[in-house]
Amino acid sequence: MKVVFAGTPEFAAVALRSLIDAGFAVPLVLTQPDRPAGRGMQLQASSVKQVALAHGIEVLQPLSLRMDARDPQRAEEAKAAHERLLATDYDVMVVAAYGLILPRSTLDIKPCINIHGSLLPRWRGAAPIHRAIESGDQETGVTIMEMEEGLDTGPMLLMERLPILDTDTTGSLHDKLAAMGGRMIVEALQRMADGGLTAEPQPEEGVTYAAKISKEEAKLDLRRPALELARKVRAFNPFPGAHAQAGGIVVKFWNAQAVTGAGQPGQVLSADAQGVVVACGEGALRLTELQKPGGKRLAAGEFLKGFPLDGLSFE
């Protein structure tokens, strides 16, 4: 089978590498435009683009795929991309974390299937890994589905489950699910080629939406229960990084566990090499990895050498 691939971040790049390694022909890749990144804010190619260029694959980076876009440039780029797709010899489009909506005009060219990092219909939308951890889900997984115009509403082709460990962060869970998705998409295409894959409609019950993560919600409200806040710390690692202020300084929290403890929310109950224990609305958080602005992520003991917290409170 010949595959057009559409995706942008590392989650998608893992799948693209898997397809290439499995011997699928990939004549064309779509990915988002280069974005400024790093301290110098230099334009940086997406992870998917880097993989494509390393394998000599043609890359398109339209701002939109909607030919009816109000912005003339977006509409023109969408038209050019549509024409390029029509001229490309391919059997299926595989989509993973692309970041652009595929309009009906694109979906109608050839079958489109998606790699989604959740157990649909739970956590449709942009941030399924973050939201699964934040909500305390016991398991997640990957769903391979047929695409339609609705947001992650298409029929399911394959699904595999994965337990969420108490130590999982969005970063660690992302890597597990990316590897799973790469393996599953190869299996799905091989079974499609053999005519051995049947689509099933998603259940009508249990639909939830994983809204995009905003930087504002990473500020912890220490009046909340410690169990809830510990999940947020894990969910927002590595982005955007849970945080609170102490002594007028924003401190990011990268690892934390809920422990017993009582005091005014935000009060530092103890601070040593074992961690910084902060009172919450219910219980307390033991912070074991912290970071000051412009500094490195440090274990609690090392952090305290440069930023003593005695007598301070987080707010």
Binding-site residues for (6S)-5,6,7,8-tetrahydrofolate, please?
118-121
**73 Cβ partners below 8 Å, 6+ apart?**
63
Contact between 210 and 125 under an 8 Å Cβ cutoff? The reply is yes
Directed axis angle between helix 170-193 and helix 10-21, to 10°? 40
Q: Is the dihedral of CA 131, 135, 139, 145 positive or negative?
A: negative
Q: How far apart are CA 11 and CA 178, in angstroms?
A: 5
Name the binding residues: 118-121
Distances (CA, A) of 274 to 158, 246, 303, 304, 313: 44, 19, 11, 11, 18
The helix or strand, by DSSP H or E, that contains position 4, with its residue range, turns out to be strand 2-7
Contact between 181 and 15 under an 8 Å Cβ cutoff? The reply is yes
Show the tokens assigned to 292.
């000051």
**51 Cβ partners below 8 Å, 6+ apart?**
13, 16, 17, 20
